[in-house]
Structure 1
């Protein structure tokens, strides 16, 4: 009954926070356009198994550095809205930013359930990189399952780290142990297991039971998102729109991947490059201890524990996360190193032309 108890606990937290938020009507983002990414240059990258991955980019195509953002579970590239807005102003023409929707999320195509694995997400990231940034230095930024995607990529493509991949940020993420967190307790919920069984054996029934499935998982996603009761109602509405827009097969399919996560083998590879490890101290899904564990294994890391923030720390406390990303890029690409890397990749490009 542990799973049922965890769901009850998190549901109570959700209700309490919602009531508190309604008492605070000030909304600094009431007029914010959260669909700015939709106006950026767009194209589709097709994965080897035929799944179309939606991509957006901002910044000059010939910028000396590319920063690629991978979003988390039940979200889409818009989860990096405040990074897209503020960092484009900060970095200017020196950085090109790439955003993409993970398979089964946002504008990307749905896929076979057996491909909803963290290993496959790492392969998808490499497919995106081969198309959008085949040359030149790259910094990877992953939030939640996106951070796990970065670790998966590092495990499978270690040869690029310290060369093509020069820095990485793992935000509200974990290398392993998710099954020991509150999320792990929730995954033991018998009702949720019934939904997963139905998704495997009769996927059409899952679509028919869409409302029931969402009502089961909604308290988990909502309550864990934010730690501060004064969070902007517009930001909350935007994040909920992303969550509720995620197809049920995607939501159910990736639960097993999170439950069995173990990307600790990637840490020695990631240790070759500067990293930012960030997490809210009120994160219920990937508690701060997971970030501390990763930082302990990464000697060139900055550990950033954000006071009062929940799982969607990059939306809740964007200035703190943005400042951390600016510091990461400076550490990963000091002027002399960036000039050397750019020259090296241009020479390689000429040899291949």
Structure 2
């Protein structure tokens, strides 16, 4: 019997992030999309996810969701059958990246999430997809629906993220690392770094894809997830 699949969205993202993928494979596996609003530390978010997750499950996370997925894999390896890390990194933030998080907190508090979405949009999507009004609207809607208070809590949680790169060898469950070839926020080499560090992983590259792979290339991402789950081709 197939275990449930738990998705963890990224920063300023909602269940809409995985909606197209769920539409592709949702009738073949039980799915749960995590709501990690509220806590403002990584440890507290991990606690919240574990308290609400099935006893044994497959886990997929994108961006911030990938950071959390790796933390979960280290905290509760006996509960996670397999792991999918999408558009994420294992290395800690640089000083410039931390400063950028602080700047985004200030922007959200001063001008709201429309301004945050405008600031981030060019780095979230493949350049060719910035001309897709439906896709841009979906990304903007996720940010606005997240709200400034939740976004600030998420950013503050990310500022508490510890360097776990030295523990990568402890993540032993079968893992798929997925990258977008044009991802500006977590470039392909960051995924390659994870793949090289984990003892039981394989790397999948999605072509003509930026940071939000599940929205930009849902069919390709759904196929990669189906293969990872051991399902027949979709």
**TM-score bucket (shorter structure):** 0.7 to 0.9
Change (3 A) 1:220 1:259: farther
Post-superposition offset of 1:299: 2.9
1:53-83 CA distance string (max 9 Å, x none): xxxxxxxxxx632111111110112210111
Report deviation, 1:186: 2.8
Match of 1:236 among 115, 118, 136: 136
Q: Cα deviations across residues 162-189 of structure 1 (Å, max 9, x unaligned)?
A: xx421110111112233367x4563364
Structure 2, gaps ≥5 residues long: none
Secondary structure in structure 2 of the residue aligned to 1:245: helix
Please list every run of at least 4 consecutive aligned residues from structure 1 whose deviation after the TM superposition is greater than 3 angstroms: 213-216
In the alignment, the residues of structure 1 paired with residue 181 and residue 94 of structure 2 have an alpha-carbon distance, to the nearest angstrom, of 19
Q: Answer yes or no: is 1:312 the counterpart of 2:184.
A: no
Pick from 197, 203, 207 the counterpart of residue 303 of structure 1.
Answer: 203
The structure with more radius of gyration: 1
Q: Are 2:188 and 1:264 aligned?
A: no
Is the 1:66–1:97 contact (alpha carbons within 8 Å) kept by the matching residues of 2?
Answer: yes
In structure 2, the CA distance between the partners of 1:180 and 1:274, relative to structure 1 (3 Å rule), is farther
Q: Secondary structure at the match of 2:177?
A: strand
Query: For 2:90, which of 175, 178, 192 is the aligned residue?
Result: 175
On the 8 A contact 1:226/1:311 being kept in 2, the answer is yes
Question: Equivalences for 1:183-262 in 2 at 5 Å?
Answer: 183-184=97-98, 186-187=100-101, 189=103, 192=104, 195=106, 206=109, 209=110, 212-214=111-113, 216-230=115-129, 232-261=132-161, 262=163
- Which string of whole-angstrom CA distances, capped at 9 and with x for unpartnered residues, describes residues 191-241 of structure 1? x57x28xx9xxxxxx4xx4xx244653333211221141464212211210
Deviations 1:133-180 (A, max 9, x none): 23xx5210111111111111122223x1xxx42111011111223336
- 2-side partners of 1:178 and 1:307: how far apart? 26
Aligned to 2:14: 76
Which structure 1 residue ranges, 5 or more long, are not aligned?
1-62, 104-110, 200-205, 332-353
Show the counterpart of 1:47: none
| CA 180–302 in structure 1, closer or farther in 2 if over 3 Å, else same | farther
Select 2:63's aligned residue among 144, 147, 153: 144
Question: What's the secondary structure of 1:217's corresponding residue?
Answer: helix
> Residue 30 of structure 2: which of 52, 75, 96 is its match?
96
2:180/2:208 contact within 8 Å kept: yes
Q: CA RMSD in A?
A: 2.5
Contact residue 121 and residue 152 of structure 1 kept, 8 A: no
Q: Distance in 2 between matches of 1:214 and 1:96?
A: 32
In 2, are the aligned partners of 1:119 and 1:149 still within 8 Å (CA)? Answer: no
The residue that corresponds to 1:124 in the other structure is 48
TM-score (norm 2): 0.86
* Alpha-carbon distance in structure 1 between the residues aligned to 2:174 and 2:19: 24
Could you state the TM-score of these two structures normalised by the residue count of structure 1? 0.59
- Count of equivalent residues: 229
| Matches of 1:293 and 1:263, distance apart in 2 | 13
Cα separation, partners in 2 of 1:215 and 1:247, compared to 1, 3 Å: closer
